[in-house]
Structure 1
């Protein structure tokens, strides 16, 4: 191996370590991609994790802005082919060399993190979904050139749908944690008023009919978006359909976990168990095989 190849392998190993540590579900799904594609996904995840940590891992607003501004400046240098010679940017440069990537979703991701520094509860579902686009729908657009090489343009809407659905799922899983640890309420003001669920109720970790109705309204929207994405799964690259569908179904399973725990997402961490992941895995295998059979018959 040349020094460059060694450096590149080290860069991708660094990115893989980040996704493995921070998102077992994503790693579980995307590690089934062909290795070159999996590495590209790891690099994109690492960028998004570093952007997210710029806000969540710093204690005050000044440090958050400093960390996020540093990343944004590095992205601008990257856009001009003048990025720092660090592991993240070495890996991302290789991704941009191998795939027909667009830079704008990376800036959108940073814009989403800026909204968390200047956080205000969304007034309505439209504001919430715009935020979800910035921090997660943008990720779907980043991944498209890797997992839909021939249909990237036509699948942009579905990629955004999946990202928004996943972020809504995150929000519905972390209602209590976001309020308790970050003083953030992502539940839209208009929906809270409509269902009669107050901030005092949230402070008291009250799970009542109002909370369940509010939670289910957002969960139903997330499930609608998962369905819209899944309807187009056959348009993605054949070698990517299984991992993409698997990741979406595992994430969707978080909603079922919250329901199973009687909607306790205020002081309980909900997750998809290993047994449930295996069930989802088998289900996705079955649906993928069935789709292949229908394709051959046609």
Structure 2
């Protein structure tokens, strides 16, 4: 490996170590031979996310920067501003990864700056097909799994994880004026976007939001359950890693329920004891 490429991978690995939050236990199970590839994918998505969300740029400028970022990817151009790209290009080539999965991720970040209200679950899941599902498909390809049924179940898991993150970060997204809970779900429980903003302002929720979240969480749990069929296509540590990820997502949903469906007052995260319980469950129940 030449020095430029090694430096690029080291940048990706350090970035992943610095920011990786959601499933820290599962990350330890990634085989050493795959870690640098997954770090490169993480860096690619993390930096795109930073462009989409960070700083004082207006949406138009952010979209311009994301399009520029996408063109760097497509044209395989090296730029000192983005030291991770040599590793990204090498990862794509070494594993024969589908480029569309990477461009879809950027398109999701562009959409975040164009659209902030979703009418129904179909619209939300269409967003997930770009924001979350490509990550699962990339991982499967890195682990040399290219089965359409496996991709289908992976999409279920990744969309469920994205929805879980929406519920977990409801307050943060509302503060950014993003409304991922479907409008027809809110209407069913006599809620409006203004009501959600009031919940953030007062740091209090009522039974209308609790009932809406209860339905949304049930919808998401069913996606996790269906997606768990992916495990039939996996083996070894990768199977264990994905199982832990599923169980971790389900545990977050359980904690939201245990906290009376109130992610506004407390952002719920998994603690070390939660992960210990999940690991024991996976080991003894499969």
TM-score scaled to structure 1, two decimals?
A: 0.87
Corresponding residue number in structure 2 for 1:293: none
> Is it true that 1:243 corresponds to 2:241 in the alignment?
yes
| CA pair 262-189 structure 1, distance change in 2 beyond 3 A | same
Q: Which residue of 2 aligns with 1:118?
A: 114
Tell me which residue corresponds to 2:205: 207
Q: Is the 8 A contact 2:136 2:155 kept in 1?
A: yes
**Alignment-derived partner of residue 89 in structure 2:** 93
Q: Distance in 2 between matches of 1:33 and 1:244?
A: 10
Q: Which residue matches 2:148?
A: 153
Measured after TM superposition, the shift of residue 98 of structure 1 is 2.5
**Displacement, 1:17?**
2.3
**Which whole-Å CA distance do the structure 1 matches of 2:147 and 2:35 have between them?**
17
Question: What does 1:1-298 align with in structure 2 at a 5 Å threshold?
Answer: 4=2, 6-59=3-56, 60-78=58-76, 82-84=77-79, 87-147=83-143, 149-180=144-175, 182-205=176-199, 206-288=204-286
Q: CA deviation at 1:151?
A: 4.2
CA gap 1:236/1:157 in 2 versus in 1, 3 angstroms: same
Cα distance in structure 2, aligned partners of 1:14 and 1:267: 36
Cα-Cα RMSD: 1.9
Q: Aligned in 2, Cα 1:83/1:285: closer, same or farther, shift over 3 Å?
A: farther
Of stretches 218-227 and 236-245 in structure 1, the one that deviates more from structure 2 is 236-245
Q: Is the 8 A contact 2:116 2:177 kept in 1?
A: no
Unaligned runs of at least 5 residues, structure 2: none
SS in 2 for 1:226: helix
Checking the alignment, whether the CA contact within 8 Å between 1:122 and 1:187 is kept in structure 2 is: yes
Distance 1:113 1:172, change over 3 A: same
1:156-203 deviation digits (Å, cap 9, x = unpaired):
1111111100110011111111112x1111111111001112233212
**SS at 2:84 equivalent:** helix
Alpha-carbon distance in structure 1 between the residues aligned to 2:115 and 2:229:
34
Q: What is the CA-CA distance between 1:62 and the residue it aligns to?
A: 3.5
TM-score in terms of structure 2 length: 0.90
